[in-house]
Structure 1
Amino acid sequence: MTPSFPRDFLASLYTAAVRAADPLTGIRSHLPARPKGRTVVIGAGKGAAQMARALETVWDGQLEGVVVTRYGYGCETQNIEIIEASHPVPDAAGLVASQRLRAAICDLTQDDLVIALICGGGSALLPAPPAGITLDDEIAINEALLASGAPISAMNVVRKHLSTIKGGRLAASTKAQVVSLIVSDIPGDNPAHVASGPTVPDGSTRHDAIAIIEQYGLKLPPACIAHLHSKAADAPRPNDPIFASHHHHIVASAAVSLDAAAATAGHQGIDAVILSDSIEGEARDVALVLSAIAREIEARNRPFAKPVVLLSGGETTVTLRSKTGKGGRNGEFALAMALAIDGHEIIVLAADTDGIDGSEDNAGAFADGGTVKRLRAAGLDPRHLLDRNDSYSGFAALGDLFETGPTGTNVNDFRAIMVR
C-alpha cells in the first residue's frame, strides 16, 4: 500500500534514523570505569554539546571539561563548558577552542581519565595550525578541500597532517587514559577519520597527504606544502606506546540509523531496502545511479517490487562549479534526482542527519517526478540551477526544502527514494 502522504512517510523515516543516532544510548553502553583521579571531558563536532549533556545524565561522579560545537548547536550542560565556533570554515573561536581542549588535559596524570566526545564537524571546529602556518592558511585549506570533490576520508588525511591537534595529537598530549566515544559520520566508520581523529591515530602519512593534494589539484598556501615536505608533519603512529591505554567506541553510526528507518517503513506497510550505508562520490553522479535503479523498479518491478523505499547513507561530495550558488550535497543530489525522474512516480528525500545541509538552514530537500515542471513554471531552469550548484534557491522557491534545525547528532547523509 502506498502512503497517502508520501512526504510525511519519508520524513518519518528520517526521524527514526536520527532518533536511532541519539548518542545517549551508545554512551550509556560504553561508559568507562571511574578513575582514581579526575575525569575530564573534551569533545568536538556538531553534536558534541548534546553528547556532553547525555554523558552528564549517566555518569556517576564528578565531571569537568570543555567541548566545541558549531554556532547555534550548543545546549545547556551542568559542568562541561560549551564553546561555539565556525563550521564548515574555521575561525578564531575554533582556534581558542583547540587551545582550551589541549590545556584541559595536558597536566593530567595516569590516575586521571579523559573522555573524548567526537563527532562529525570536528575537523573545522579544531583549527590548530603548525608553526609557520596561519589561521588564514587553515581557512584556505578547508575551502580548497570543500570545493575539490574529494571524499571525506581523503580530506581528513590532508587536514591531520597540517595540524597540531588532529591525527591523534590531542590524545598524545596527555598522560591520562583516553576513552573516545565517537558518533561516526564516515563511510565505513573508521574512527580515525571522524573529525580527522584528534584522539585516534591512523597509519596515513604526510606522503599520502601530498599525493591527495596532487590527485585533486589542490591549490594550498606555499607554507602548507613546505610543512608537508618536512618531518614536522609526521603524525604519531597507532603503535606509539602513548596510545597503549587508550580505547575508542563507535556509539552511533549510519548503519544503525538505516536499520531503524527500514523498520519504521515496515511498520507502515512499505518494504524497505538498504542499498548501502557508505555511498561516496559526486552527488549528481550518485543521483544518476540511484534514479536508474528506481526507474527500473517502476518499469519492470526489478530488482525489487514496488511499492518500495530505497535507503542509503554515506557522504557524497560536490565539486564546486560556481561560487554564487547556495545549497549542500543533499540538495544537489535531490536536484539531480529531480532531473532524472522527471515525469515518474518516484519521490525522494535527501537530508543531512545533523539538520544542516552545507552552509544553509535546511537539512535537505524533497524531489519528485513533478519537481522539474514546477521549477519551470516558477521561471527557473533546473539544469542551470544544478550547473551553478544552486539547489537551495530552486527548492526554496517551491517550498520543498526539508527543515529540521540542529538534531544533536551526525551520522551523515540520509536518502530515501520511494517508488510508488
Structure 2
Amino acid sequence: MEALLKEAFLEALKATDPYRLTAKHLPPWRPDLVLAVGKAAAPMLQAALDRYGEVPYHLTLPKGQKAPGLKAVFARHPVPDEESARAAEEVLGLLQGLSPRARVLALVSGGGSALWCAPLGISLEEKRALTEALLKSGASIHEMNAVRKHLSRIKGGRALLATRAKVHVLLLSDVPGDDPSVIASGPFHPDPTTYAEALALLDRYGLAFPGARAVLRQGAEGRLPETLKPQDPALRRLAWRLVGTNLHLLRAAQRFLRAQGFRAAVLSDRFGGEARALARFHAELIEAIRAHGVPFRKPLFLLSGGEAQVRVVGRGRGGRNLEFLLALYAHLKTPLYALAADSDGLDGNSGAAGALLTPAVWEKGLDPRPFLEENDSLGFFQEAGTLLKTGPTGTNLNDFRLLLVD
C-alpha cells in the first residue's frame, strides 16, 4: 500500500507535467520576448522555444534547479536574495524597452514572488527579514502577497505598468482558489488589496519593521501610487490563461487510483488555515466514515489539496505537509495509510517533499507532543523512517494529500 501511495503521487506529477500543460495553450503568434519565472519556469519556457524557435527570453529559477541548455538567473526561494533583485531589474529593463506593437509571452508559476524582487522604499535586507517573519507568522499566501505587492516595483501588476507592449500570460497555479493576482504576487495582474490592508496585516501578526511600515503608511495616505487596479486601462493590453492547477493534480491521482480498481474522492483543492486544524478536520472526517459510513462509504481514498500554514514557535525543522501528518498522527488512535507532500518536491525547510503515515509508524509508539511543541515534524519523520524525497520536481501545483480510509 505504501508503494501505491507513492505511485499515485508520482503519476499525478507526470500527468500534470508543465511542458505538456504549456504546449497545449501557447498562442499562435510568435512573441518578441518570453519571460519565464517560478518553479516550473524551465519546462514552460522549453515548450515555448520548441514551438517558436529562437526568441529573446529571460528565465528565473530557484537555486538548486537545473536548466540544461538554457541561460537562467538562479535566485533564492522562499526568501529573496541579490539574484532575485538582479532578475527583477533585468526584467523591468526589458519590458520598458519594448514598443506598443511588441508582444510578450509571460510564463508564470509559483515561487515568482521571491524570484523577482524589486523592493519599493526599503532595502533588500529588510525585505528578506520581513519575508522570513511572514513565513513564520502563520499568514496565508494571500495575506503575505498583499504585503509583498505593496513593497515591490514589479509585483501587483506593476510589471504590466512598466511596459507599453501587449502581454499574454500563461499561469501554473500554486494558490488556493487560483487567483491570478496572487500567483507569484501577480506581476501582470490587477491587485484588489491596498496599502492600508497591507499595513493592517503587519499589525495583525505583530510585525514591527519600521521601514516597511513607513512605506505602507505613505501609500495609505495617498503619497505613493497604488498597485494596478481592476479598472486601469493598461489591462486592455493583457490576456491570460490558467494552464495547470491543484485540482488538475488531484484529479490525475483520482483517475490513477480508479484505474487500479479503488474508489477515490476529491474533498477540495482549496483547504487552507493552520496545518494542525486541517489535520484535525481530516481526522474527524476519517472517524465519521469509519464509524458511520458518512459522508462516504469505506474503503476509499480521500484526496485534498490547497495550502495550509504553520505558525512557527519552536526551533525544529519541517513544512506544512509534514506538520499536517504529524498532527494527524496525534489525533488518530487507529492507524491508517496517508501521504502528504508539496508538489514542488520541497516541503518547507525539511529538504523532503513530504512523508507517509503507515501502521508501522504507530507500532513505533513515538510521542508526537515534543515534536509538535518544537515544530519539528522533520525530526519526527526521520525517526519514523517514512520521509518522501523526490528533489525539486520542476512544477508547483500546491499541496497533495492522500489518505486511505479502510
Fold-level match, TM-score > 0.5?
A: yes
C-alpha separation in 2, matches of 1:187 and 1:339 = 26
Pairing partner for 1:109 from 99, 107, 118: 99
Pairing partner for 1:351 from 309, 322, 341: 341
Q: Secondary structure at the match of 2:80?
A: coil
Following TM superposition, by how much is the alpha carbon of 1:233 offset from its aligned partner in structure 2, in angstroms? Answer: 5.6
Following TM superposition, by how much is the alpha carbon of 1:368 offset from its aligned partner in structure 2, in angstroms? Answer: 3.3
Counterparts of 1:64-83 in structure 2 under 5 Å?
64-78=56-70, 81-83=71-73
Following TM superposition, by how much is the alpha carbon of 1:63 offset from its aligned partner in structure 2, in angstroms? Answer: 1.4
Question: Is the CA contact (8 Å cut-off) linking 2:189 and 2:228 kept in structure 1?
Answer: no
Q: Which amino acid aligns with 1:354?
A: D
Q: Which residue of 2 aligns with 1:329?
A: 320
Q: Which residue of 1 aligns with 2:199?
A: 210
Q: Which residue of 1 aligns with 2:389?
A: 403
Post-superposition CA distance 1:123-172 (Å, at most 9, x none): 111221113x1011101110111011111111111110011110011122
Post-superposition CA distance 1:96-135 (Å, at most 9, x none): 111111122210112221111111111111221113x101
Following TM superposition, by how much is the alpha carbon of 1:369 offset from its aligned partner in structure 2, in angstroms? Answer: 4.3
C-alpha separation in 1, matches of 2:53 and 2:27 = 12
Post-superposition CA distance 1:46-97 (Å, at most 9, x none): 121222122222x23431111211111131245xx31111111111111111
% same residue: 39
TM-score (norm 2): 0.95
C-alpha separation in 2, matches of 1:415 and 1:98 = 34
Q: Which residue of 1 aligns with 2:355?
A: 365
Counterparts of 1:193-208 in structure 2 under 5 Å?
193-208=182-197
Following TM superposition, by how much is the alpha carbon of 1:217 offset from its aligned partner in structure 2, in angstroms? Answer: 2.3
Post-superposition CA distance 1:6-27 (Å, at most 9, x none): 1111112212321232222332
Question: Is the CA contact (8 Å cut-off) linking 2:150 and 2:156 kept in structure 1?
Answer: yes
Question: Is the CA contact (8 Å cut-off) linking 2:2 and 2:358 kept in structure 1?
Answer: no
C-alpha separation in 1, matches of 2:118 and 2:86 = 9
C-alpha separation in 1, matches of 2:296 and 2:325 = 22
> Does residue 222 of structure 1 match 2:210?
yes
> Does residue 46 of structure 1 match 2:39?
yes
Gaps of 5+ in 2: none
Q: Which residue of 1 aligns with 2:26?
A: 31
How many aligned positions are there?
Answer: 402
TM-score (norm 1): 0.92
C-alpha separation in 2, matches of 1:142 and 1:115 = 28
Question: Is the CA contact (8 Å cut-off) linking 1:345 and 1:419 kept in structure 2?
Answer: no
Q: Which amino acid aligns with 2:329?
A: A
Q: Which residue of 2 aligns with 1:139?
A: 128
Pairing partner for 1:124 from 98, 114, 119: 114
Counterparts of 1:267-416 in structure 2 under 5 Å?
267-322=259-314, 324-342=315-333, 344-374=334-364, 376=366, 381-416=367-402
C-alpha separation in 2, matches of 1:47 and 1:205 = 29
Q: Secondary structure at the match of 1:191?
A: coil
C-alpha separation in 2, matches of 1:178 and 1:7 = 45
Following TM superposition, by how much is the alpha carbon of 1:360 offset from its aligned partner in structure 2, in angstroms? Answer: 2.6
Structure 1 runs (4+) deviating above 3 angstroms are none
C-alpha separation in 2, matches of 1:105 and 1:33 = 21
C-alpha separation in 2, matches of 1:130 and 1:302 = 52
Post-superposition CA distance 1:296-353 (Å, at most 9, x none): 222332221221110000000000011x2111000000111111223x2411100000
Q: How well do the aligned residues superpose, as a CA RMSD in angstroms?
A: 1.6
Q: Which residue of 2 aligns with 1:88?
A: 78
> Does residue 158 of structure 1 match 2:147?
yes
Q: Secondary structure at the match of 2:132?
A: helix
Gaps of 5+ in 1: 1-5
Question: Is the CA contact (8 Å cut-off) linking 2:335 and 2:362 kept in structure 1?
Answer: no
Q: Which amino acid aligns with 1:255?
A: L
Q: Which residue of 2 aligns with 1:266?
A: 258
C-alpha separation in 2, matches of 1:312 and 1:107 = 44
Post-superposition CA distance 1:249-300 (Å, at most 9, x none): 1110011111111111111111111100010010011001101111222233
When structure 1 is superposed on structure 2, of 155-164 and 301-310 the one drifting more is 301-310
Q: Which amino acid aligns with 1:416?
A: L
Q: Secondary structure at the match of 1:189?
A: coil
Q: Which residue of 2 aligns with 1:21?
A: 16
Q: Which amino acid aligns with 2:26?
A: L
Question: Is the CA contact (8 Å cut-off) linking 1:337 and 1:367 kept in structure 2?
Answer: no
